[in-house]
Amino acid sequence: MVSVVRAQQVLFKTKRFNNISWICRRTASTTPTPTTTEAARQVGQKVAADAAAPTKKPIAGAPYKTLSIGVPKETFLNEKRVALTPTVVSALVKKGFTLNVEENAGAGSSFHNEEYQNAGAKIVSRNAAYASNIILKVRQPNNEDISVFQDKSTLISFIYPAQNKPLVEQLAKKKATVFAMDCIPRISRAQVFDALSSMANISGYKAVIEAANSFGRFFTGKITAAGKSPPAKILVIGGGVAGLSAIGTARNMVLI
């Protein structure tokens, strides 16, 4: 048995001063402390039990070199964006993926077929792009896209499932795995996947540029020999990502 030392604070007074004294008393502990030999035996038993326990098999995933990524051309009206740029294609090819890019998929964004080919992608037909294991799109697929969609494929795109319930049902019939980029929460862990905020940031910037193009006079203030013109006044409705981007762009243009 090993004794345990406990401290008790005692306050005492005298006629001449006050003081605080610490008195230690020894009390017998009711819990025995194992000896070194016994402790070593317990550790050995635990190690032996852990070694005998069946190990969990890791979840096997498909290697990158067996997966293909398809980038079809966007068919939504006036949509000029593309899911992957040649720079990103080059990075994915180095990882081992096979990239299937539909012909002229990046033409609206001024990315030519030769740039994708130089990055390591294959320029294929529409059906061949949708035959890939993983489909990357900007806009949600329409009925024509669903008709060439392969069963058990993976789709990464803006989906807006609450507004497109028939689309979700069609994808469910195809047994597709869908990642809705518009449903990713705005948290620090998912910041690198926050495509919605990135697009909203561009929208706010572009809104001010388009407003400047449609304005009837100078957007910013000008001082000339003939006089001066005051800067335009802008009203931004909303303070979200797009609104803050529009305000920042307007301030950079020295607007009110």
CA-to-CA separations, 222 to 196, 207, 248, 254, in angstroms, rounded: 36, 22, 20, 11
Beta carbons of 73 and 104 less than 8 angstroms apart? yes
**pLDDT digit string, tens, across residues 112-146:** 999 999 999 999 999 999 999 999 999 999 989 99
C-alpha 111: how far from its chain's center? 25
pLDDT higher than 60, residue 246: yes
- Amino acid of residue 223: I
Q: What is the mean pLDDT of the chain?
A: 82
- Return all residues near 16 (Cβ < 8 A) that are at least 6 apart: none
Q: Looking at the domain that runs over 64-183, which CATH code has it been given?
A: 3.40.50.720
- Match 């909303």 to its residue by tokens: 238
Give the Cα separation of 252 and 256 in Å (integer).
Answer: 10
Q: Where are the domains of the chain?
A: 64-183, 195-252
**pLDDT digit string, tens, across residues 44-69:** 666 566 656 555 555 556 688 889 99
120, 121, 123, 125: CA torsion to nearest 10: 160
pTM: 0.68
Token pair for 208: 């001010």
Tell me the average pLDDT across 71-82: 94
Token pair for 115: 């740039």
Beta carbons of 64 and 95 less than 8 angstroms apart? yes
